[in-house]
Chains A and B, each alone.
Chain A
């Protein structure tokens, strides 16, 4: 089921944030003052590479940067469930 708000748990800092539906996960994290590094904001540089511990995301742009199986690129995806992530 598609809700338009999800809980995003940033481990280490243990803060829960709301995912605004029309923003990328990266933008949502920034709006919530989470320190996350980004360059291209378009999925090709890998700077925003983040570990997804639980939950699911959907890509708006095809990610080109290298990511491991348990990693996501917040600059080009959205949460589609409650998620827990760990920022490098």
Chain B
């Protein structure tokens, strides 16, 4: 079915499924099929923040004091997060918007993606403060084998759904040969691709950030890189909300509260969904291995990080009916919770930086004495 930016069908959005019904026409929120998405929009907007509000200038000194292995850990994590948010800043829009059928979900996806772009901009803010020229760091994201491998795993489900949707929207249902390849486009197949994609996004929001988060907050526990940590706390708060949205979508489907065919697909693809989650867990553990291969950092090692990933995965998997596959029952990094607590992330006005100052400071010398007992 051809996509239209304003469907002339005078449909009742309250009877549309979340996806693959009529395209959305009027952006109205006075009535909602799934009110949760409107609430998530409000909450997300109430979280609005700008990276420039967080003073990261002291981090530059801290960074110079880090050991080589710690620098590797810090920079590699920033690269990985940059990759994740590069994908998340565009993909929910491109993959989901053309097939969404209710206005509150459409606007939620746009709001969600917009916040991912704030995350992306904040990595530039952090890196520009640490390096006069951060281009080498950014270009390594496309060259580094370890990051590349992750990029493929993350983008493949999106790309698959996007491609099938494009065929469907330009050629309709049925068998089509495109550049020598034959594709059989059925509504069932499209919905299945959507289901797997949503599971992959859910796993991304659920666990893929947590190895990096743990490292950032372990530095902060030692009062190092605290500007960075403040930004990551704001990001973590947003990610928690994104996760809530994908959990809602998956559960609405599975419990038969939306499209009944999606409930069947959820049942049929349960194994595959669990597999997507488990392989994300595996990749995060490999990432922890890569981070620490040049040496550990104080307060963290590969084993404890892997246990933490399993611990988080247990919680996140049980939230979507996939059980708790791992043994670990108590939190191996209890101090993490203090950094993920919503109340602890307010940005105080006196910490705001004027952006002209920010540009100027990149070339200026900063001495430890300048800060005195300045506290973040």
Contacts and interface: CB of A to CB of B under 8 A. Distances in A.
A40 B331 contact: no
Interface in B69-98: none
B318 A45 contact: no
B342 interface: yes
Contacts of A47: 240, 315, 340
A45 B337 contact: no
Contacts of B40: 64
Which bucket holds chain B's interface residue count?
A: 20 to 34
Interface in A24-65: 35, 37-42, 44-47, 49, 62, 64-65
A14 B244 CA distance: 31
Contacts of B324: 88
Chain A's interface: helix, strand, loop or mixed, by majority?
A: loop
B319 A40 contact: no
A42 B315 contact: no
B191 interface: no
B240 A39 contact: yes
B237 A40 contact: yes
B173 interface: no
Given A37-B331, A42-B342, A88 B318 contact: yes
Contacts of A88: 314-315, 318, 324
B327 interface: no
Given A49-B319, A88-B318, A39 B341 contact: yes
Nearest to A37: B331
Contacts of A62: 39
Given A38-B337, A38-B341, A39-B341, A46 B43 contact: no
A41 to B, nearest CB: 5
Contacts of A39: 240, 337, 340-342
B340 A40 contact: yes
A41 B340 CA distance: 9
B243 A45 contact: yes
Contacts of B32: none
Nearest to B344: A41
B30 interface: no
A29 B314 CA distance: 21
Interface of A: 35, 37-42, 44-47, 49, 62, 64-66, 88
The 5 closest A-B pairs by CB, nearest first: A39-B340, A45-B240, A66-B247, A40-B342, A42-B342
30 contacts: A38-B337, A39-B240, A39-B341, A39-B342, A40-B237, A40-B240, A40-B340, A40-B342, A41-B341, A41-B343, A42-B342, A42-B343, A44-B240, A44-B342, A45-B240, A45-B243, A46-B243, A46-B244, A47-B240, A47-B315, A47-B340, A49-B315, A49-B319, A62-B39, A65-B244, A65-B247, A66-B248, A66-B251, A88-B315, A88-B318
